Structure 1
Amino acid sequence: MPLSKLEVSVEINCPVSKVIAFVDDNENDPMWQTSVLQSEKRTEGAPAVGTIYHVKEKFLGRVIEQDWMVTERNADGSFWKAKSTTGPFPIATSMKFESKGNSTLIHRTLSIDVGRFFKVASPVVGHIAQRELEMDFANLKELLEAEA
C-alpha cells in the first residue's frame, strides 16, 4: 500500500552553495540522516543523472540495503530527484535548495511503498518516516549552522 507523499522543509542560516556541497557529499549522510548507517557512491565523478549510491539503513528495527539512482538533477545541484533501484520496497525522493540571501531553504519529498515488507500499517510507517525526515533536517541545520 503506497504512502502519501511525505514532505519536510527547513531554513538553514548558511549559503546555498555550502549546503548543496555538504548534502552532495554522501560520506556526510550518516552524520545527518538518522537511518543511514553507510553510504557508498558507486559512480565516478560529480553527482549527475545516472549516479548510483549504495545505502545501508536501519528502519523500524531492520537493516536494509538499497541502490539509489539520480534520475534528475540541475547543473548547480539546486534540485534533484532519485529513486531506489534495489531493496525491499520502492522509494522516490527529491530535494530543492533555494537561496534566501545568506540562508538556504531546503524542501524534501519522499514517497514510499512498503507493500508487505513491514507488518505494521502503512500510516504508522508514514508517521515514523515523517518524524525521521524532520529529525534529519534538524540535524542538518545544527551541523551546518555550527560550522558557519
Structure 2
Amino acid sequence: MTHVDVRVSTTIARPRAAVAAYAADPDNAPEWYANIDSAQWRTPKPLAVGSEIDFRARFLGRGLAYTYRVEEYVPGERLVMATAQGPFPMRTTYIWADAGAAGGPATRMALRNDGSPRGFAAIIAPLMEALMRRANTKDLVRIKEILEASPAGG
C-alpha cells in the first residue's frame, strides 16, 4: 500500500497561544491555506474532539469536498484531524512548541499530512507528495506573514 507523509515546519515570531488559537480555528483556514476555499462547521463550536468541519478545496485543478473529524485536540499543543472520504483518506496534524529565546516569544509550528491514497491517487502518489509539500510550505509562509504582521495575532 502506498503511503504519503509530508512534514513541514516554520518558526513564527508570535506567542504559542496566539499561533495555536489562530491555526486551530477552522474559520481561519481559507485565509492561510491557498487551496482551501471554505470551511463550514457540521457540529457546534468550539473545536473539540469529535468536531466535524466540511472543507471545500482545490488540488491538481479539481474541486474537492471533504469532512475532517477532530481526533485529538490539546489547545496550544496539538491538533489532529482526519478524513476517510474519497480516493485519499488523510490525517492532518498541527504541533505547536515554544521556540523563543531572549529576543522574545516565538512558536515552532509543524504541519503534517499523511495518508494512504487509493486507486489513481495511489499511482500518482509521488507527484502528490511533492505538490503537497510545496503547498504546505507556502501555507506556513502565509500563516507566518499573517500572524507576524498583526499585533493581535491575526
Do they fold alike, i.e. is TM over 0.5? yes
Q: Which runs of 5+ in 1 are unaligned?
A: none
Q: 1: CA distance between counterparts of 2:84 and 2:42?
A: 13
Alignment partners' CA distance in 2, 1:144 and 1:30: 15
Partner Cα separation in structure 2 for residue 10 and residue 147 of structure 1:
17
Moved beyond 6 Å, runs of 4+: none
Alpha-carbon distance in 2 for matches of 1:38, 1:107? 22
8 A contact 2:87–2:119 mirrored in 1: no
2: distance between equivalents of 1:51 and 1:77? Answer: 17
**Does residue 65 of structure 2 align to residue 61 of structure 1?**
no
Stretches of structure 2 that go unaligned for 5 or more consecutive residues are: none
* TM-aligned CA deviation for residue 119 of structure 1: 8.6
Percent of paired sites with the same residue: 27
Distance 1:17 1:119, change over 3 A: closer
C-alpha deviation, 1:4, in angstroms: 3.1
Say which is worse superposed, 101-110 or 116-125, in terms of deviation. 116-125
Residues 1:96 and 2:95 are matched in the alignment: yes
Cα-to-partner distance string for 1:61-119 (whole Å, 9 max, x where unaligned): 01010011001111x24112110033342001111111223011111111133322449
User: 1:1-148, aligned counterparts within 5 Å?
Assistant: 1-74=1-74, 76-101=75-100, 102-118=105-121, 121-148=124-151
CA distance in 2, matches of 1:120, 1:70: 28
TM-score (norm 1): 0.91
Q: CA deviation at 1:5?
A: 1.1
Q: How many residues align?
A: 147
Does the aligned pair in 1 maintain the 2:4–2:116 contact within 8 Å?
no
Judge conservation of contact 1:89–1:117 (CA < 8 Å) in 2.
no
Q: TM-score, normalised by structure 2?
A: 0.88
Root-mean-square deviation (CA), in Å? Answer: 1.7
